[in-house]
A = this chain, B = another copy of it.
Amino acid sequence: GFARVDHDREARNGVPEVIFGEGKRVEQISAIVARLRARHQRALVTRLDTERAEHVLRDHPDGQYDPVSRLLRWGEAPERLPGRVAVICAGTSDLPVAEEASQTLEWLGVEVARLNDVGVAGLDRLLAHREAITHADVLIVVAGMEGALPSVVTGLVRSPVLAVPTSVGYGASLQGVTALLGMLSACATGMSVVNIDNGFGAAWQAASILGL
């Protein structure tokens, strides 16, 4: 067969395998979803465009699709994880990635606090929430262009920060590579980085820190 679903993953990693939606045909996705739901009662597809999502929903109509985060999901976490994750985002254009993180967290059973549009060009917007951010258990910080926000946030808190570069920007932003390299080069301590636009991966790592 074309796919070999890794059913042991729930045992090993705490959660069933998630389907990477890019480059798969609709029938492939539907078939994998069927197998996952039969075994684990829940399923998640990432990076799925609206058109293909609608096709998959014909086979599995009780799923929820969100066009901003491009997530398609069924079921939910059997139990909620302790702790709270702050998902902070630099600009309105970074929202799709921040939502991919927030909604993946919710599907994984984690409580989320969203803080949008607090980029470093208007620092007072962030500082107004200084109290709140120092109390999150994990922080996911999403930023495109020069990607400076995670360094600034990391300097303000003790909890671990997960930095997510986005492909927002143009020219020297190099589709997110500049933000990615900047976050990796940051001298602020207590921060690690995931792939460009990978809100999903940051959410999973946050849940893993909270004891997935």
Please pick, from B15, B155, B180, B194, the residue contacting A121 in the complex, using a CB distance under 8 A.
Answer: B155
Q: Is A87 an interface residue (CB 8 A)?
A: no
Q: Which of A1-39 contact B (CB under 8 A)?
A: 1-4, 6, 8-9, 12-15, 17-18, 20, 22-24, 28, 32
Q: How far is the CB of A92 from chain B (nearest CB, A)?
A: 5
A155 near B190: Cβ-Cβ < 8 Å = no
When distances are taken between beta carbons in the complex, the residues of chain B under 8 Å from A95 are: 2
A212 near B158: Cβ-Cβ < 8 Å = yes
A209 near B160: Cβ-Cβ < 8 Å = yes
B209 near A185: Cβ-Cβ < 8 Å = no
Q: Is A50 an interface residue (CB 8 A)?
A: no
B172 near A180: Cβ-Cβ < 8 Å = yes
A193 near B190: Cβ-Cβ < 8 Å = no
| Chain B residue at smallest Cβ distance from A68 | B25
Q: Which of A192-212 contact B (CB under 8 A)?
A: 192-198, 200-202, 204-205, 208-209, 212
B184 near A181: Cβ-Cβ < 8 Å = no
B190 near A204: Cβ-Cβ < 8 Å = yes
Q: Is A118 an interface residue (CB 8 A)?
A: yes
When distances are taken between beta carbons in the complex, the residues of chain B under 8 Å from A132 are: none
B22 near A170: Cβ-Cβ < 8 Å = yes
Q: How far is the CB of A39 from chain B (nearest CB, A)?
A: 14
Copies in the complex: 8
Interface segment, A53-61, A73-81, A141-149? Answer: A141-149
A187 near B145: Cβ-Cβ < 8 Å = yes
Complex: A190 Cα to B173 Cα, angstroms: 18
Please pick, from B146, B167, B190, the residue contacting A182 in the complex, using a CB distance under 8 A.
Answer: B146
What are 27 sample pairs from A and B whose C-beta atoms fall under 8 A apart?
A1-B117, A2-B95, A3-B92, A3-B116, A4-B125, A12-B158, A13-B189, A14-B158, A20-B91, A20-B187, A22-B93, A28-B92, A123-B155, A123-B156, A148-B186, A159-B208, A165-B171, A171-B180, A172-B180, A172-B181, A172-B195, A179-B182, A182-B182, A189-B201, A189-B208, A190-B208, A209-B209
